[in-house]
Amino acid sequence: MRDLGRRPSHVEGARSSDWVLMDYVDFVVHVFRDDRRRFYRLERLWGDAPPLDLTSLKPAAQDAGPS
């Protein structure tokens, strides 16, 4: 997301924790260790939601700043 020029509006957890949540307002990203992902099984909550193909996203235009 950073490469696309997007920053989360809020982050919970830490790099060393088992679970990090990044809130991008329009969507939320959960990053888990494998054992935590199996334990919480969040996919079951949104299993009927249609998948989104994000591969077509383009990086945001870089601000050249003052010359």
Q: For the segment 3-58, what is each residue's pLDDT rounded down to a tens digit?
A: 888 899 999 987 778 889 999 998 888 888 889 888 988 888 878 888 888 788 77
* Phi then psi dihedrals of residue 17, to 5 deg: -85, 175
Q: What is the CATH number of the domain that holds 28?
A: 3.30.460.10
Q: Give the structural domain span for 11.
A: 2-44
Which two three-digit tokens encode residue 58?
């383009």
CB 54 within 8 A of CB 48: no
CB 2 within 8 A of CB 11: no
Query: What one-letter code names the amino acid at 36?
Result: R
**Does 50 map to a domain?**
no
pLDDT of residue 25: 92
* Phi then psi dihedrals of residue 64, to 5 deg: -70, -20
C-alpha to C-alpha distance for 32 and 22, rounded to whole angstroms? 12
**Does 16 map to a domain?**
yes
Of 60 and 16, the one with more pLDDT: 16
